Amino acid sequence: MKSVKEIEIINAIKKALRQIKVDNEILNNTLDKNFINKKVVDIKKQIKFIEEKIKSNNNVLLNLYKDKIQGTFNENTFNTLLEESEQEKDRNLKELKNLNEKLEELKSKKIDNTEIAKIINEFLKFEKLDRNMLCVLIEKILVYRNQKGENKLKIYFNFSNENHFQKNA
């Protein structure tokens, strides 16, 4: 047996999905933009982090050479530290190359949204609500109490231009 809140959420989701015109072209464009934009931002953050590591590693290498010239450590220590720094630099450059390739692949990638439309239609036909449907359709659901003490429900969809539906819960 479903709880009152679960039934209210299911009904609110169904109402919102009925309001959203499931036009494949609109669905494709919106999903592609939302999904790809989130992934692009994540990869760009990773790229920036790796670039900072490479910059830092280059400073370490420069300081190693300066320290060697000043006689701070012997030849064996210098060679060991140099090798470790160069290996780190190679790992970072390889990771940067992989991230840039992922970024380019992602920018050229299109999402097949026929599955999304199928899930929306299936959900509208049935009372059943399962995790897979929720994960594909919904970014997040907020159930909260406003300043007046009223229960509110806000649904953020992965594909909607408005990207949310509000209802008194």
Greatest CA span in the chain, whole angstroms?
78
* Sign of the four-CA dihedral 36, 142, 8, 12: negative
**Model confidence pLDDT, tens digit, residues 120-144:** 676 667 656 677 777 777 778 787 8
- Which residues on adjacent β-strands are paired with residue 140? 156
Q: Distance between CA 118 and CA 108 in Å, rounded?
A: 24
pLDDT at 46 over 80: yes
Of 58 and 10, which is predicted with more confidence?
A: 58
Length of the chain: 169
What is the pLDDT at residue 3?
58
What is the pLDDT at residue 168?
57
Helix ranges, the chain (H): 4-19, 24-69, 75-108, 114-125, 131-137
pLDDT at 24 over 60: no
